Structure formats: structure tokens, C-alpha cells
Structure 1
Amino acid sequence: MRVEMWTDVACPWCYVGREHFAKGLAAFQHRDQVEVVHRSFELNPRAENGTVPIIDAVAAQYGRTREQQIAREEQAAAMANAVGLEFRIGGRVFGNTFDVHRLAHFAATRGLQGTFLDLAFRVNFAQEASIYDRETLVRVAVEAGLVESEVRKVLDDPDAFADEVRADERLATELGAGGVPFFVLERRYGVSGVQSPEMFTQALEQAWADRSAA
């Protein structure tokens, strides 16, 4: 059974949602027969890399006050902490995640996509290191098990794996995804947002039962 998961490493709800899904999958009896495919989704495809604090940038983007955005960050942090994830507030910056997505697709060719994304999310939210910094991104990729020279070659070529990222984003649009996290089970069931681990287990069980019946 296949589960497709659209996320963006800049999204705090994706950070939590991925962990909720992982816990829901762990409780699923047929978890060893589930293929998880990570797909790309850019929350801010026109963003430029810089030094603007994420709190200020997102508050301005959605018309919130700084205090309102901090409250949302605190909410995300509490949800992350509840499932054992570290989440720091105040140090992240706003930027473009296209290179992260390109490297995720490259990592998939080496069987390391999930590992790379786990580390990228952790570096962004637990360490607040800039995932938009080239050397940080190279370090994350190497730590995931990728070869440094190959990673740099991908980053040096703006066309490398760009088509794969765009294809994921087109597919998300076709399937009706307006945001992330977004999960699709067997191309029949969609689960959006930060659902509970129990909800994910139930969705997996339903998809499995319908698949078996078919």
C-alpha cells in the first residue's frame, strides 16, 4: 500500500504531522507493507533567501500581529514537544525551500529521502540552523549519508531534479491540496492537516480493508 506525503521543511505543522503519521503507522498491523513516498510542496515558492525572522515574515504574509504569530509558534512547539520533538522559537529565518526539495529527490535516488528530510526538519526546528544556507544544507545531506561531491553537483545545477519538484506540486494541485501536510492513501483517501496518530492508524486500516476487498 502506498502513502504519499506532501510537506515543506519550512512548515511547523509538517514537522509535527510527519511525527503523528509515523506514530500512527507504527501502530498499524501491516506497516511493513506500506510504502511512504515523500512529495514536494513549497509554501512560499517566490520567497528569496535572507535574514528576515520567520515570525515577522509570516505575520506580515498573513496579516497577523507579531504577538499572534508568536502564539501560533508556541502552539506548534507545544504539539511538537508532546510527541518528543524539540522546537525552538525565534531563531528561524524566512527563505526558499526549492533546493531542499531538489536534494530530497536526489536523496530518493539513493534510498535516503526519508532520512534526509528527518534531518532537515530537525535542523530547522530543533537547532534553528538556516536550511537556506548552502553549507548547512550540504552538511545535512552528508549526515544523511549522501556523497558531498554529488550533493554539491546537484546544488550547482539549478535544473537538477527541478522537474521532479514541479511534478509533485502539480500533482498536489490536481488532488486538491491547498496546503500541507497533506497525505494521500492509495490515491483514494486524502488526509490533510495535523491529525492525531490514532486518526492516521484508522485511515490506514480503512485503506487496507478497502484494498483487500477490491
Structure 2
Amino acid sequence: MVDQAPHPGGSTFAIEFWSDLGCPWCYLGKHRLRTAIARRPDAGRFEIRVRSFELNPAASREPETIEQAFIRTHGGTAADVLRGEQQIQAVARSEGLPFTLDRLSANTFDLHRVVQYATDQGLGFEFFSGVQDGFFSGDLDPYAPAALAAAAESAGIDGRRVREILAGDEYADRVRADRAEGLALGATGVPFVVIDRRVGAPGAQAVQVYAQLLAQVAGPVPVERAS
């Protein structure tokens, strides 16, 4: 990606957000990015498009505790996992975000397939964001088909189609293609944000960093609204 001059004032910008459901830094990064956008008077010019990126394609399809999943993949002890979770929880809460430690972990491939369908309906980011927020607040079980169908309906998506998709293998190729594309663009993990295919940033950046990236492609925020 090469930095260029900002587009003319009436242009719109696609923000591609590679993410995975259970990634706490994706959860934080998403809200920081949205905050940076909301602070601009031209916020309506930006469209966030969620892109699929499984952090652990080999994850168990049966839900297990965060501790079990982490230790099986990375080693360590339950105390290590709890300490890391508490540190991220403190960051999230300092930014006004709910963050329960009582979460389960499982393979997210099927969720990503539903996200691809939601994207076709023009509601991919809205659906994914709602599911992820519910997951981290402890209000939604993303591994239960009925819960995903209900979340889809809340986002304006056909819950019956969601159940059909979960029962089959539709959109599998697109999930894999999204991950491959992210890797090709330089992603080594998530979150990974690309704005207008010109600038990008790995990791959960600070709000101000996202604001600077937005300014690179869309121009600075007018002085009277910069605060």
C-alpha cells in the first residue's frame, strides 16, 4: 500500500477490518476505530467492511474454556491465562467496554461463513459487531445456532437462512480467501485494518493513530471540529 494524496471531498472510503470473534484486541480495536470515525464531521464517508481471519483454524469445534484453549495451543498455566485476561479486561473497562472473563472458546469458521452471508446483505459489519459485543459482554453464545440466528434477525438478516448456512458449507471458500488476502497484504494476525487500499495498520491502535490514518486518505478534520 502506498500513501497518496487524499481523495476529493465527496469521495467515500472503504475500511477493511480483518478480525476474529474471540480476539480481545479486535474487540478493542474495532471500538477505537469507530470512535475515530465518529469524531469526524464526515463520518458518513467511511464504511467498515469486516473481513474473515481465523486466528486458529485448528481450534476445537466443541466450546472449551479460555484457559483450556490457550494452554492447549500456547502452553503456560491457568494463572498465566487469568493474569493476561485480567490485564486486557482492565484496558477494556477503562475505555467503557464490558469484558467478562467467563467466556468460552471454539472454532469460529462457521460464524465467519454467516458473516460472509451478512456481508452480501450489506450488514456484515453490523452483524459481526453485534455478535462480538454480545460475546465479550457475556450476553450471547456465538457457538449456538439459535443465538446466531437471533442475532442475525436483530441485525435485519433472515434467521432461517442463517440456520441453513450453519447446517451446510456455504461461503467456506470465501472465508479462506479472506484470510489468504489478509496474509498477502501483510497481516500476521488481527486486528488488521486497511483504509482505501492505501494505508493500513496491524494491531489495536490508539484512537489517535486511527484518526491519523483516516486523515491520510480523507484529509484532516476541520479545525473547529478537531477536538
Paired residues for 1:1-214 under 5 Å: 1-89=13-101, 91-127=102-138, 129-158=140-169, 160-209=170-219
- CA deviation profile, 1:62-88 (whole Å, cap 9, x unmatched): 222221211211122122212221110
Deviation at 1:199, TM superposition (A): 0.9
Using the size of structure 1 for normalisation, the TM-score is: 0.90
- The CA deviation string for residues 14-72 of structure 1, in whole angstroms up to 9 with x for no partner, is 11110010001112343221222110000111112224211231133222222121121
Count matched residues.
208
Query: Does the aligned pair in 2 maintain the 1:55–1:70 contact within 8 Å?
Result: yes
Q: What is the deviation of 1:177?
A: 0.5
Q: Is the 8 A contact 1:19 1:83 kept in 2?
A: no
In the alignment, what sits opposite 2:5? none
Report the secondary structure of 2:64's partner residue.
coil
Give how far 1:209 is off. 4.1
Aligned-partner Cα distance in 1 for 2:139–2:80: 20
SS of 1:79 mapped into structure 2: helix
TM-score, scaled to structure 2: 0.85
Q: Pick the structure with more helix per residue.
A: 1
Cα RMSD, aligned residues only:
1.7
Asked if 1 retains the 8 angstrom alpha-carbon contact of 2:148 and 2:162, the reply is no
Q: Deviations over 1:139-193 (max 9, x none)?
A: 22222221222111211221x1112211111101101111000001122222111
Distance 2:143 2:33 in 1: 26
Confirm or deny: 8 A CA contact 2:25 2:191 kept in the other structure: yes
Aligned sequence identity (%): 35
Distance between the aligned counterparts of 1:180 and 1:80, measured in 2? 17
Quick one: structure 1 residues 51 and 39, their matched pair in 2 at CA, closer, same or farther if it must change by over 3 Å? closer
| Shift, 1:128, TM fit | 5.7
**Whole-Å separation in 2 of the counterparts to 1:22 and 1:173:** 23
8 Å CA contact retained: 1:50, 1:93: no
Structure possessing the higher radius of gyration over alpha carbons:
2
Q: Which runs of 5+ in 1 are unaligned?
A: none
Partner amino acid, structure 2, of 1:49: R
Counterpart-to-counterpart distance in 2, 1:83 and 1:110 = 31
Assess if the C-alpha contact under 8 Å between 2:123 and 2:155 holds in 1. yes
Query: Structure 2: which amino acid aligns with 1:44?
Result: N
| SS in structure 1 of the partner of residue 217 of structure 2 | helix
- Contact 1:28/1:205 (8 A) holds in 2: no
Per-residue CA deviation, residues 121-143 of structure 1 (Å, 9 max, x unaligned), is 12211016431222222222222
Q: More deviation in 109-118 or 56-65?
A: 56-65
Instruction: Name the CA distance, whole Å, in 2 between partners of 1:6 and 1:81.
Output: 23
